[in-house]
Structure 1
Amino acid sequence: MAGPGRPAAGGRHLRRGGRGREQGRTRGRLWTVHSGRPGQAGGPAARRRRRGGTGTRGAAARRGAAPGRRPRGRLPVPQDMQVQPMLAAAHLLRLARRAGATVLPHEPVTGFLRDGERVTGVRTARRAIPAGSVLNAAGTWAGQLAELAGVRLPVAPRRGFILVTEPLPAIIRHKVYLADYVADVASGSAALQSSPVVEGTRSGTVLIGATRERVGFDAAMSLPALRRLAAGAVQLFPVLRDVAVIRAYRGFRPYCPDHLPVIGPDPRAPGLHHACGHEGAGIGLSLGTARLVAQVLVGDRPDLDTYPFRPERFAPREPNDQHRRI
């Protein structure tokens, strides 16, 4: 899901876009591990916070700490950056246009041009566009696009919600995760998964995630999901218990069953390449993925072995099937 503040790999390239607008900043990340029942950890200060939210802007807040439950363990990652996805995407579009790219919005692909088995371009409702290579970077819809080329790519939507609070004083200075988030991301269950991720913004609002569930493209609001988000945030930060939520939004992450992205050429449809299936890490991994794809397209050796991300890994394998590593 393209939510505000996604972790950014190679974020220095997006630190400042056109017109002086900053796309990324180093905020750091804090992983926490808790034990016991939510809201029952901590000493007298924590009990005061649970009763009335007092004592939350003293020395801990001045040091940049995040007032809340006392964690059993913490892992700070101070060098992590975040980018605002909409600003980052707009900046990348500007760079693409500057390099000579033509952008055709609201013109979905309806099919592929072929020369025998080889993909030689795409069709839209308005035109045919020949191309030496075609890149499928359609995100959550990448599987549907691959079907038009006759190949199976099991990229499925995984719905997620985010809550946004009213503006608050700056008491949450880093992006704070409960370590359960890792297990939720790695889960293959279609059922609702929820673990708290809490981040303050420059405007003072607090962003609260994160849920995951596979319900197709059902865009309906889910009260059970929103309640679990709120409960998880209070688990980490009891001071948020009486804070008002001003809005909620949702999106669909491109989920792959093995939790790896799909990157590289598709031997089942020569001329077709894929860059999709990153689930919630697509914004942060976009620049690195683009570099790998570009290296493959021009015949250079990729900086990273793309074999684990090969598109054909989802196809039934023949007994003597051999895959070329690039």
Structure 2
Amino acid sequence: MPTRTPSLVTRTPGSRTPDVIVIGAGVVGAACAYYAARAGLSVTVVDRGPVAGGTTGAGEGNLLVSDKEPGAELHLALHSNALWRELAGELPSAVEFETKGGVVVASDETRLTALRTFAAAQADAGVEAREIPADRLHDLEPHLADGMAGGFHYPQDAQVQPALAAAHLLRASGAEVRCGEEITAVRTAADGSVRGVTTASGTCLDAPQVVNAAGTWGGEVARMAGVHLPVLPRRGYVLVTEPLPRVVRHKVYAADYVADVASGSAALQTSAVVEGTPAGPVLIGASRERVGFDRTLSVEVLRRLAARATALFPVLAGVRAMRTYAGFRPYLPDHLPAIGPDPRVPGLLHACGHEGAGIGLAPATGVLIGAALTGKQPPVDATPFRPDRFPDSPCPDSPGA
């Protein structure tokens, strides 16, 4: 999947005070900038690195509803799924938006029964899911291993090239984009309200509203503003194969993946997740572990990923893995992102903590932030995502450790 980003449309730095500063140029920050601009606001986006240089650039681009249990996150995901389809008509084809659907497979009857119960609850919430008997799985995935008990097809699941999507959303927003400028302070007035930010170079950027879309560093940005938001990094690896014919047609994963997503364990968890891409390489995941920001290559994790992938698709056993990369999902303890105004600091808003769902949830997050910035009624109830829902106590495994 190509990652060359387009040239961004920027305003001349310092030309005027923007209505809002967005901290973070990943896909969530880009979506916040895009929908804030559509609401009529002027926006400056600031990032310590390049566009999509953090979690977004290390993601697979999944836009999933299949892995979410009924509740607030699924409601947000369904709304975001519809928004992505709208954006697909507005953004260039280079973002590789693909409505390929997902297939979840069960290796035995016990897991299939659990999937059946899970899918029935999702259907009541508006998710499309169709049970596929064992003897029809190969109609969807000809190279899938034999012996599966059955599975479910989720036609709403999709994929996008995340780095290009972020770049094109930023370009479409018309925001001033300032890359390579680390935020060192969130400045407040005497009454406690936001005044702007300060960068590592000593530059003061003024704005009456600041959006914290800093991904895994969202907790650090919150601390700069004097509030607690327990965002922690959760490391994951992706294996990338050599370019292949489309041997994997959908996003295919084992039923165990759903439990791993919902788990709060800090220990290593791996489950089989395999998907093809328009460019040819097959992407193989997924792993989860909380190890701070440690980027040390783990051969054991890669071994597990390869073993689980080849068990699911034996045809991959003779395929070369060309590269691997690690990323950090921004994890919050209740597995819900923090989205919206922070009542503790007027003018501060948060849009972070999406864990592995940030790319899929980005448009709906941007819409909620746009509504909050302009005082409009949001299309989705934002109450479950309140940033101040966590006790004001330090996290035991802070990302700064």
2:347 corresponds to 1:271:
yes
Structure 1 length-normalised TM: 0.84
Whole-angstrom distance in 2 between the partners of 1:5 and 1:115: 39
Shift of 1:81: 1.6
Q: Which residue of the partner structure matches residue 224 of structure 2?
A: 148
8 Å CA contact 1:18–1:91 kept in 2: the answer is: yes
Q: Which residue of the partner structure matches residue 120 of structure 1?
A: 195
8 Å CA contact 2:257–2:271 kept in 1: the answer is: yes
Q: Which residue of the partner structure matches residue 31 of structure 2?
A: none
Whole-angstrom distance in 2 between the partners of 1:63 and 1:148: 50
Q: Which residue of the partner structure matches residue 6 of structure 1?
A: 62
> Could you give the per-residue CA deviations for residues 2-23 of structure 1, whole angstroms, max 9, x where no partner exists?
3233216222244256665343
Whole-angstrom distance in 2 between the partners of 1:60 and 1:308: 37
Distance 1:252 1:63, change over 3 A: closer
Shift of 1:109: 1.1
Distance 1:62 1:166, change over 3 A: farther
- Residue identity in the other structure for 1:134: V
Whole-angstrom distance in 1 between the partners of 2:196 and 2:104: 45
User: Which of the two has higher C-alpha Rg?
Assistant: 1
Summarize the alignment of residues 176-325 of structure 1 with structure 2, pairs less than 5 Å apart.
176-316=252-392
Greater share of residues in helix: 2
Q: Which residue of the partner structure matches residue 105 of structure 1?
A: 179
Distance 1:195 1:221, change over 3 A: same
Whole-angstrom distance in 1 between the partners of 2:137 and 2:273: 20
Whole-angstrom distance in 1 between the partners of 2:330 and 2:147: 34
Whole-angstrom distance in 2 between the partners of 1:63 and 1:118: 55
> Could you give the per-residue CA deviations for residues 298-324 of structure 1, whole angstroms, max 9, x where no partner exists?
11111111111111111259xxxxxxx
2:151 corresponds to 1:74:
yes
Q: Can you give the 5+ residue segments of structure 2 that lack an aligned partner in the other structure? A: 1-54, 65-80, 110-135, 394-401
What is the DSSP-based 3-state SS (H/G/I as helix, E as strand, rest coil) of the residue aligned with 1:158? strand
> Could you give the per-residue CA deviations for residues 12-70 of structure 1, whole angstroms, max 9, x where no partner exists?
2442566653431111101111139xxxxxxxxxxxxxxxxxxxxxx987865342243
Distance 1:196 1:307, change over 3 A: same
Shift of 1:262: 0.3
Q: Which residue of the partner structure matches residue 165 of structure 1?
A: 241
Whole-angstrom distance in 2 between the partners of 1:302 and 1:92: 20
- Residue identity in the other structure for 1:83: V
- Residue identity in the other structure for 1:167: P
Shift of 1:177: 1.0
Larger relative contact order (Cα-Cα within 8 Å, sequence gap ≥ 6): 2
Calculate percent identity across the aligned residue pairs: 53
Distance 1:217 1:34, change over 3 A: same
Whole-angstrom distance in 2 between the partners of 1:63 and 1:28: 10
Structure 2 length-normalised TM: 0.69
2:241 corresponds to 1:130:
no
Distance 1:113 1:173, change over 3 A: same
> Could you give the per-residue CA deviations for residues 84-121 of structure 1, whole angstroms, max 9, x where no partner exists?
10110111111122xxx211111111112211211121
Shift of 1:169: 2.7
8 Å CA contact 2:96–2:278 kept in 1: the answer is: no
Distance 1:22 1:185, change over 3 A: closer
What is the DSSP-based 3-state SS (H/G/I as helix, E as strand, rest coil) of the residue aligned with 2:178? coil
2:162 corresponds to 1:89:
no
- Residue identity in the other structure for 2:163: M
8 Å CA contact 2:212–2:349 kept in 1: the answer is: yes
Distance 1:89 1:316, change over 3 A: closer
Q: Which residue of the partner structure matches residue 28 of structure 2?
A: none
CA RMSD of aligned residues (A): 2.1
Distance 1:249 1:297, change over 3 A: same
What is the DSSP-based 3-state SS (H/G/I as helix, E as strand, rest coil) of the residue aligned with 1:292? helix
Whole-angstrom distance in 2 between the partners of 1:206 and 1:292: 34
Whole-angstrom distance in 2 between the partners of 1:19 and 1:313: 38
Whole-angstrom distance in 1 between the partners of 2:287 and 2:140: 30
